[in-house]
Amino acid sequence: MNLNTVSGSAVELSEVAFGREFNEALVHQVVTAYLAGGRQGSKAQKSRGDVSGGGKKPFRQKGTGRARAGSIRSPIWVGGGKTFAARPQDWSQKVNRKMYRGAMQCILAELVRQDRLVLVEEFAVEAPKTKELLAKLNDLNATRALIVTDAVDENLYLAARNIPHVDVVDATAIDPVSLIAFDKVVMSVAAAKKIEVELG
């Protein structure tokens, strides 16, 4: 398939990587799994067995007029444990490589269909200047954008660091959530070719 860059030149890209039919269920599953994998999973609470103290019965069973109690750390007592205490857990979900690639192809193809993928011959800044990068993005009408380059560009990264809703990644580090989150994806032709090899 042919895609046009901002300057008007045509670029031949794989139909597999950039022209696949959208599969909402697949994309949803992969995005959910990606977000789940980023969860820390370290939440922990104390049950009645974890709270210190409470080993001795606080008062005798009968004759006090009070409700019977076996421990001062019972969940119904102030200072007691949690009834169903949360435990650390691994939230990660297994996603097959083929499914992940398929979801990425679907997302990229949908970006093309929605005119959210902006192809440029090259995207760089002379110096790490935020003002210079903002001017370039305004020219492309891409103020909330993910910039995808073929290699790590420190100048570009430093220039974008202080701009809200703008992020810079190289082609090997793209992920489904970032591609969906931004209004526009500004991608260099070299980066598109690299992604094509990875996903095609």
Domains of the chain: 2-40+97-199 (3.40.1370.10), 44-87 (no CATH)
pLDDT of the chain, 200 residues: tens digit per residue: 778 888 778 888 888 888 899 999 999 999 999 999 999 999 999 999 999 999 999 999 999 999 999 999 999 999 999 999 999 999 999 999 999 999 999 999 999 999 999 998 888 888 899 999 999 999 888 889 999 999 888 989 999 999 999 999 999 999 999 999 999 999 999 999 999 998 87
pLDDT of residue 184: 93
Give the tens place of pLDDT for each residue, 182-197. Answer: 999 999 999 999 999 9
Q: What is the tens place of the pLDDT at every residue in 29-40?
A: 999 999 999 999
Q: Per DSSP, what are the bridge partners of residue 118?
A: 186
Residue 170 belongs to what H/E stretch? strand 166-170
Q: Residue 114, exposed/middle/buried by CB under 10 A (0-12, 13-18, 19+)?
A: exposed
- Residue 79 is encoded by which pair of tokens? 């200072």
Sort 167 into a burial class: Cβ within 10 Å, 0-12 / 13-18 / 19+.
middle
pLDDT per position as a tens digit, 37-69: 999 999 999 999 999 999 999 999 999 999 999
Contact 87, 110 (CB under 8 A): no
